Amino acid sequence: MSSLAVRKARPAAGTTPGTAQGPPQRRRIALVPTVTLVIGALYCMLPVAWVVIAATKSGSELFSTFTFLPGSGFTENISDLNAYRDGVYWKWMGNSALYAGLGALLSTVVSAFSGYALAIYRFRGRETIFNVLLAGVLMPPVILAVPQYLLLAEANLTDSYLSVLLPLILSPYGVYLARIYAAAAVPSDVVEAGRMDGASEWRIFTRVALPMMVPGLVTVFLFQFVAVWNNFLLPYIMLSDDEKFPITLGLYTLLEQGANTPALYTLVITGALLAVVPLIALFLVIQRFWSLDLLSGAVKS
């Protein structure tokens, strides 16, 4: 299993740099690929680099000084953001963490159950259930969100934490990944041996299969965490009380107000920076746990 951080060791790669051997026309560094990748990396980092610098600028510096020249207002911007509507920004961050953390956790549990059942058991309707669940991926979120809103309104659940949390628990993509992973990681002999020993199906799942599925489930969790953290449409439709907003919706409303008052631009920019930092940090720390080969492995089956 490879992760984002693991490179495939190719014996041909990295032939002792610095020693001039071999035919001269053969470059030691593949120049074209390296340059292409560096350009790509710079392109991808440009907006992030910009927001880091822009967040240091005071309101007047933002419009008057060169873009990539650091300003002097970072601490002031932070305290402005803290003061904005009694620190509602941090409330949004907390809400996002709650929606994404709890949502992803529940989603992973449901995916683990379903993926395990679909991978291990042979039963009537298995492929039908799987295909119907998968078709959920194709449903445009608005198609679901509008009637979901109306139905949740009937149950008096709109504008609540649950209205954002509940519709996202079932993730067709998570079920798909969990099934692929369970099929690869849990040998049927092991399940059979458990049955021979008289263990219940539940016990086999929790004690034997679940530990084997952990790496795949970490991936499901992370995908779902990012998906919920980045979600905008569902809270946009469901919520009206800004105390319950996640960070994406909060920043959007801030920008909307900023359209009329450019003084709020610095708040939006500082807020955007602080919203990006936790996810980037999370990425750097956990990227080694992502088994992204699930994606291509999934393709082959």
Partner 1 sequence: MTTARRRPYGVKGAPYAHPSPTTTLRRARSAPYFFLLPATVLFLLFFALPIGYAVYLSFRKVRVSGLGLGSGARKEVWAGLQNYTDALGDSELVDGALRVLGYGCIVVPVMLGLALLFALMLDSERVRLAPFTRLAIFLPYAIPGVVAALLWGFLYLPDVSPFYFVLDRLGLPQPDLLDGGPLYLALSNIAVWGGTGFNMIVIYTSLQSIPAEVYEAAKLDGATPTQIALRIKIPMVAPSLVLTFFFSIIATLQVFNEPTTLRPLTNSVSSTWSPLMKVYQDAFGNGDIHAAAAQAVIIALATLVLSFAFLRAANRRQKQEAAR
Q: Which residues, 179 to 198, sit near partner 1 by CB under 8 A? A: 195-198
Q: How far is the CB of 267 from partner 1 (least distance, A)?
A: 12
Binding part of the chain for partner 1, among 72-80, 85-93, 123-131, 212-220 by CB under 8 A, reads 123-131
Candidates 74, 113, 161, 289: give the one binding partner 1 (CB under 8 A).
113
Q: How far is the CB of 242 from partner 1 (least distance, A)?
A: 15
Considering beta carbons, is residue 78 or 292 the nearer one to partner 1? 292
DSSP per residue over 188-239, as a string?
Answer: HHHHHHHHHTT--HHHIIIIIIHHHHHHHHHHHHHHHHHHHHH--HHHHHH-
Q: How far is the CB of 237 from partner 1 (least distance, A)?
A: 7
Backbone phi and psi for residue 262, each to the nearest 5 degrees, phi listed first: -60, -15
DSSP per residue over 35-58, as a string?
Answer: HHHHHHHHHHHHHHHHHHHHTTS-
Considering beta carbons, is residue 98 or 226 the nearer one to partner 1? 226
Q: How far is the CB of 184 from partner 1 (least distance, A)?
A: 13
At 30, is the secondary structure helix, strand, or coil?
Answer: coil
Candidates 199, 210, 212, 218: give the one binding partner 1 (CB under 8 A).
199
* 276 forms part of the interface with partner 1 (CB under 8 A): yes
**124-183: contacts with partner 1 (CB under 8 A):** 126, 129, 132-133, 135-144, 146-148, 150-151, 166-167, 169-170, 175
Tell me the two tokens of residue 92.
């949004």
Q: Which one, of 54, 50, 91, 48, lies nearest residue 74 by Cα?
A: 54
Size of the site for partner 1 (CB under 8 A): 118
Q: How far is the CB of 243 from partner 1 (least distance, A)?
A: 19
Instruction: Name, in order, each residue with C-beta under 8 angstroms of 103's C-beta and a sequence gap of 6 or more.
Output: 165, 168, 169, 224, 225, 228
Q: Hey, how many other C-beta atoms are within 10 angstroms of the C-beta on 128?
A: 9
Which secondary structure element, helix H or strand E, spans residue 143, and what is its range?
helix 141-154
**225-264: contacts with partner 1 (CB under 8 A):** 226, 229-230, 232-233, 236-237, 247-249, 251-252, 255-256, 258-259
Under 8 Å between Cβ of 199 and 153: no
Under 8 Å between Cβ of 256 and 143: no
Q: Hey, how many other C-beta atoms are within 10 angstroms of the C-beta on 188?
A: 12
Q: How far is the CB of 85 from partner 1 (least distance, A)?
A: 18
Considering beta carbons, is residue 80 or 205 the nearer one to partner 1? 205
* 21 forms part of the interface with partner 1 (CB under 8 A): no
Interface pattern 69-108 for partner 1 (x via CB under 8 A): ----------------------------------------
Under 8 Å between Cβ of 266 and 58: yes
At 263, is the secondary structure helix, strand, or coil?
Answer: helix
Q: How far is the CB of 83 from partner 1 (least distance, A)?
A: 21
Q: How far is the CB of 16 from partner 1 (least distance, A)?
A: 12
Under 8 Å between Cβ of 71 and 62: yes
Residues belonging to the chain:
301
* 200 forms part of the interface with partner 1 (CB under 8 A): yes
**34-53: contacts with partner 1 (CB under 8 A):** 34, 36-38, 40-48, 50-51
